[in-house]
Amino acid sequence: MDRLTNTVRPYAWGSTTAIPHLIGAEPTSEPQAEMWMGAHPGAPSRTERGPLDKVIAADPTGQLGEAAAEKFGPRLPFLLKLLAAGAPLSLQVHPDLRQAQDGYAREEAAGVPISAPHRNYKDANHKPELICALTDFDGLCGFRAPEEAARLLEGLGVDSLKPYVDLLRAHPEEAALREVLTAVLSADHDEMERTVTDATAAAQRIGGAYEPYAGIAHHYPGDPGVIAAMLLNHVRLQPGEALFLGAGVPHAYLNGLGVEIMANSDNVLRCGLTPKHVDVPELLRIVRFEATDPGVLRPEASPGGEEVYDTPIDEFRLSRYVRPEGAAAQDLTAGTPQILLCTAGSVRAGELTLAPGQSAFVPAGEKVEVSGTGTIFRATVVA
């Protein structure tokens, strides 16, 4: 078993306080957005044996187990994170596996450098993800029903939004959502900036259901993503609740601290709320234009005190153990690779004591018992 030393990414949208408060450190005034735990080549966790990606590459079957190595190849198929949003992340979608493979091959054949700012596909993998709230957590997830979106836009009383309201009411669901998102992202820049400015003033004045969008506009004034965001469901997670984001579902995280797990990929198509590249034609090809319920997940109790967040994919499986004082030790030995992350209290995993924000990698088949009082998240795969 390896104690992990992890990289914190200082993205501009990151909270300056959430991760320091969790780990008991003094804030530095710099944003601390994501702590990465895993073997992603962009920032692999470090162990006494070396970087985790190199440790796994040297002995994939021994570290991952025969079943996982055969199913996913010689790499850890998930990336675990602490995510601390102090400002909205970009409005985005992720491709499915076939779309990612085709897009990656297409850009490779065209000679687009991996580091190019206009490159859409950094790898040939999909990027389903799950976010589990550690604090109150605000996000946007999936399209509202067109009539609901029409009422929200109409309620602002902004004349330049009326064409979008009319489109939402004039067509069946898929066509209505497609046409409005296309119109918003393709509008004249100056005209859209005026529309967003007027909509922001109205949202600030009205408040209530408009408060999240006024907050978004505060960080991204004039951005067409502010209007696009109003097409989506606003969700507030309570601690312990989660969201699963599948392929083609537009989403954005707005504020809060959570545990995030995803397939090991960097593929993102952006819709707005970002200074980065927005490829509108490719985005429109990837988005699933259907109204959805956000589907808030609550953990399902399993034998042995494990609480599982059920998802429809195999690259990751996230669960947690909330251990009261005096609880008996629990055997977490598994035939698959695991990352254990403590988020509260003090938990002993094998020979390691984990405080909040500390984590360990457990190779497949290695015996590990967990004891102590606190909360520990367990990330593994379905193999």
**Catalytic positions, written as ranges:** 270
**Cβ atoms of residues 279 and 174 within 8 Å:** no
The Cα 274–Cα 91 span in angstroms is 8
Residue with tokens 């200074």: 275
Cα 107–chain centre separation: 24
**Cβ atoms of residues 342 and 357 within 8 Å:** yes
Q: Which residues contact 109 (CB under 8 A, 6 or more apart)?
A: none
**Cβ atoms of residues 87 and 78 within 8 Å:** no
Tallying the residues shown for the chain, one arrives at 383
**Cβ atoms of residues 22 and 6 within 8 Å:** no
**Cβ atoms of residues 121 and 219 within 8 Å:** no
DSSP reduced 3-state for 103: helix
Q: Which residues contact 70 (CB under 8 A, 6 or more apart)?
A: none
Distances (CA, A) of 238 to 91, 137, 311, 365: 21, 7, 19, 34
